[in-house]
Amino acid sequence: MKRRIPLTITLVLGIVLMIQFFIPHQFSQDFKNTALEWLRVIGSFAFIIGLASFVTHHATKIRHKKEGWAYSPIALGALVIMAVIGIIGRAPNMSWLPVTVHGQQIPVFTYLFANFYNYMMVPLGATMFSVLAFYIASAAYRSFRAKSLVSILLLIAAFIIMLSIIFYNVLPLGDLGEWLLSVPNMAAKRGILLGASLGGIATSLKIILGIERGYIGGTK
């Protein structure tokens, strides 16, 4: 029963929406639009799952004093502070405790929220990704070996692209890079796209028909 209901829901909704695509009648369109609106409403609750996982993970870490547990209070504290500041600070018609910034009056929570975002979240997130550049440089030096014909091909293609970016005004090179992208690369990527799409559609059908049951936890 606990499995049947979700599987039935998926089956019915999946088939109905697939058929709906082919029916231009106004009722069918209205049904789809209502379904989409309800999907948005339901979707606005979906973050709960991620939030719950995060909190339980760090709470367990603290409780059982697992390795690195001292950092978990920081994560949880940051979550609470940012959430509280955000929920208060972004309320409509918010005007508590104005602070003067650059000659303008801004409520303190809004000010804090904006600055926590711009000067803490943004630098932290952006820097985390930019560290990847160093890892690529190190990998380029230590791991990219032209050991076989195929890897030589790969490196040649990569070199052509990189050189065509550097010397884009040297006409032959820039156009060679463009040719590489629009002919061999497009051929390969289109083949991969066709194959992957067929696979994706097959998987979606399997989900609708209940053959693929991973999303309800456990297969049978």
Task: Restricting to residues 182-201, name those near another protein by CB under 8 A.
Answer: 182-195, 197-198, 200-201
Span 65-94, contacts to another protein by CB under 8 A: 68, 71-72, 74-87, 89-92
Planar angle of CA 189, 193, 195, nearest 5 degrees: 120
In this chain, which of 24, 26, 65, 124 binds another protein, going by CB under 8 A? 124
**31 token code pair:** 């049904």
100-122: b or e for each residue (b if 16 or more CB lie within 10 Å)?
Answer: eeeeeebbbbbbbbbebeeeeee
In the shown chain, the binding pattern of residues 48 to 67 toward another protein, with x for contact by CB under 8 A and - for none, equals xxxxx-x-------------
Query: Of residues 108, 173, 176, 216, which one binds another protein by CB under 8 A?
Result: 216
**Per rule CB under 8 A, count of chain residues that contact another protein:** 138
Residues 9-38 that bind another protein (CB under 8 A): 9-18, 20-22, 29, 32-33, 35-38
Site for another protein in 156-175 (CB under 8 A): 156-163, 165-166, 168-169, 174
